[in-house]
Amino acid sequence: MKRIWILIACLTGIAAGGAAAAEREPFDDRYCTTCHGTDGRGNEGVQAPRLAGMEPWYLKRQLENYRDGIRGAHPDDIEGLAMQPMAARLTDESIQDIIEWVGGWKYVPAEHTISGNIEAGRELYQPCATCHGVDAEGNEALGAPALAGQNDWYMVTQLRNFLAGYRGVHPQDVYGAQMRVMTAGLSDENDINNVVAYINSMSD
Amino acid sequence: MSRPVNRREFLNLLAAAGGAGAAIQAGTALGLLPASAGASTLDLTAGNGRSAVILGGGLSGLTVAYELGKAGWDCTILEASHRCGGRIFTVRHGTLIDEIGNRQYCEFDDEPHLYFNAGAARIPSTHRTVLDYCRELDVELEVFINENKTCWVQDDAMLGGKPVRNVEYTTHMRGFMAELMAKAMNETEMDAPFTDQEAETLLGMIRRFGDLGEDDVYRGSFNAGYASGGFIEHGVQKDLIAFRDLLKTRLGANLMRANEGETGPVLLQARGGMDRITDGFLRKVGDRVSYRAMVASIQVRDDGVEVTYDQDGARRQIRADYCFNCIPSHLVTGFEHNFPEDYVRALKYIRRGEAYKAAFQAKERFWEKQDIYGGITWMNNPSRQIWYPVAGIHKQKGVILGGYDFGGGMYHTRMTQEQRIEAHLADGEKVHPGYRGLVEKPVTVAWHRMNHMLGCAGFWTRILDGAWSTENETMYRRLQAPLNGRHYMIGDQISKHAAWMESTLQSARWAMNDLDRRLRNAPA
């Protein structure tokens, strides 16, 4: 009896879906490249960072954080606020689909747009290397993504956000909280530019 | 004793005094010079097998395909979304509103008059290029009502939030302003550079403007409407609203300048929805459009342009002699390209527009019972305006605009769909008690998040409506000029008056004329 009910539910579901599909535009959740550019290589025009080459575990965590309001909820996190609703309706399946899609994109280091004192940046980077690696290659075990090759303007924005408490303040954002602690050593915009300039130098 | 100047001398004088521009305008008025080029007069050299790839099926892209097609060119339009028209977007039964993160399907009843122009919605009668194309493409037009004096004005700060009719507000405000002007006239008349005759004429005008009494005092006017009567019985004047109360709202600045500038001329709309204009172009060039074709790369070469795009899960390539690109500049920067640095800098310079609109289907046309037929209600709340439809007068239902943030827009954009709807219902309730029960089937269009657009009309100046800096001008000219003589950026983004279809069309025509001139001047 139970099985029959399920069968009926499936049939009516399909029939209703079929009727709607006949007159409605189809869609999927593969929206990423509208903002993040060709093959997810980042687009400064809309402040959307490079996704190509991003580690699947990091991408998954961030999409889930956005979806669950752990990231991109602070009223002053302008870029995060733009991203958050894009992820709000993603299901676990569509997140998995996006990760597989992004995984197919070729990694190309982002072009450099900012300048700073690389030597000063090298000093500032030493604590970062503990988690992100001496070559900024990332470390999955520590939950730290690669930084080399990422859009420099994006890293500047995120460091500012951590410093200002726009990111990493949600109680469930464990890794974000760590970043808040680590960025406390950056005293001003100059420091931020210098450390990012050093990270840039690693993908030259 | 000077002799009268003839028309030719008059024109010469004007040219000397005001530059050639003044002379050209006056000359048109005097009927000496031809009016600006109409839609059919674009002169392009014959195609001779030349090809163009057009990026984006917005209005400017369609115009290029249409005009170049007429001249024998081989054109292909690559459109990233499922539809053409860009920000000419009419929402009706079943329409997909492809906002990233907030996809909606419009549930309005399936009737011709139940539509909502979520983008372009008004055509001023002075926008000749748009009107000429509508004529050429058999797009039926009707009058659009923008200002309607029976619509409402509502501000929580004025009269305890009680809405008043636009006509009451503006009549009384004119009365009080006229009283001030009349008093100023009387006091300064001795020193004024007027003759007695002129002063009398001016004072007469001021008195009529404000409906002043003989003592130049404003005590109310029948122009504000009758409290009762007016036909079989004598009309009873409505109570005067105190000057001080009218000054409680800043909306007066909008109300007193309504019907000025762009919304001054008679306004028109396409009957059945503004996308009838898109349809008009598609009747001519629909077979040239490739949908769901998302540009991945633009490579500008010496002998043409190569465009790579993604479609049906495959990466494809097309090569053409020329490229016309109406994709929003902030998306173009995300493609692979071989543009020079200064060109990219100019692309990044244009700011993304944030305009936002929302609409409801009304179960009954409750506004018509309040003598409102078309027009705009002004509210001093984030929803800002309610627009009443011209389409479907006296039918059962209608579609009303329930919110339009034409300046900012991020206030509503950052809300969830449920929050947006609640905000418009709460705002509308202040003007129309029972609004919540009267409207249904909401749609919202946050242009900043629409897929493949991510912005409304772009703006060049850093201050809204601010003057153009030298930097603005340099960047603008860089993008307007063709890259390597092969790649033209077009659309209202390459105009000094974004957000109007006229700018879009003129941008497309500027680019085609420029190319035409280059081809004619090129060595054989």
Mean pLDDT of chain B, nearest integer? 90
pLDDT digits (tens, 9 = 90+) for B96-134: 999 999 999 999 999 999 999 999 999 999 999 999 999
**Res. B34: pLDDT tops 90:** no
3-state secondary structure of A102: helix
> Rounded to whole angstroms, how far apart are CA atoms B431 and B164?
9
Inform me whether the C-beta atom of residue B452 falls under 8 Å from chain A C-beta atoms: yes
Confidence of residue B461 (pLDDT cuts 50, 70, 90): confident
Long-range contacts of the stretch B470-477 (C-beta < 8 A, 24+): B475/B345, B475/B346, B475/B349, B476/B346
What local confidence, expressed as pLDDT, does residue B262 receive?
83
Its ipTM equals 0.86
**Res. A171: pLDDT tops 90:** yes
Kindly report which listed range (B11-20, B107-116, B377-386, B457-466) carries the lowest average pLDDT score. Answer: B11-20
Mean pLDDT computed over A130-158: 96
What local confidence, expressed as pLDDT, does residue B184 receive?
85
> Rounded to whole angstroms, how far apart are CA atoms B175 and B181?
10
**Res. B261: pLDDT tops 90:** no
What local confidence, expressed as pLDDT, does residue B26 receive?
41
What local confidence, expressed as pLDDT, does residue B482 receive?
98
Angle between helices A118-132 and A174-183 (to 10 degrees): 150
Confidence of residue A194 (pLDDT cuts 50, 70, 90): very high
Of B82, B449, B452, nearest to A25 by CB-CB distance is: B82
Chain A: residues touching B (Cβ < 8 Å): 23-25, 27, 31, 33-39, 41-46, 48, 81-82, 85-89
Q: Do A85 and B330 touch (CB under 8 A)?
A: no
Confidence of residue B335 (pLDDT cuts 50, 70, 90): very high
How many CB atoms sit inside 10 A of residue B445's CB? 26
Kindly report which listed range (A65-79, B40-54, B363-377) carries the lowest average pLDDT score. Answer: B40-54
Mean pLDDT computed over B393-418: 94
**Res. A199: pLDDT tops 60:** yes
Q: Do A38 and B331 touch (CB under 8 A)?
A: no
pLDDT digits (tens, 9 = 90+) for B12-24: 544 444 444 443 4
Q: Do B331 and A43 touch (CB under 8 A)?
A: yes
Inform me whether the C-beta atom of residue B420 falls under 8 Å from chain A C-beta atoms: no
pLDDT digits (tens, 9 = 90+) for A45-63: 999 999 999 999 999 999 9
**Res. A132: pLDDT tops 90:** yes
Mean pLDDT computed over B72-94: 97
**Res. B341: pLDDT tops 70:** yes
Encoded amino acid at B357, one letter: K
Q: Are B145 and B371 in contact (CB under 8 A)?
A: no
Is pTM beyond 0.80 here? Answer: yes
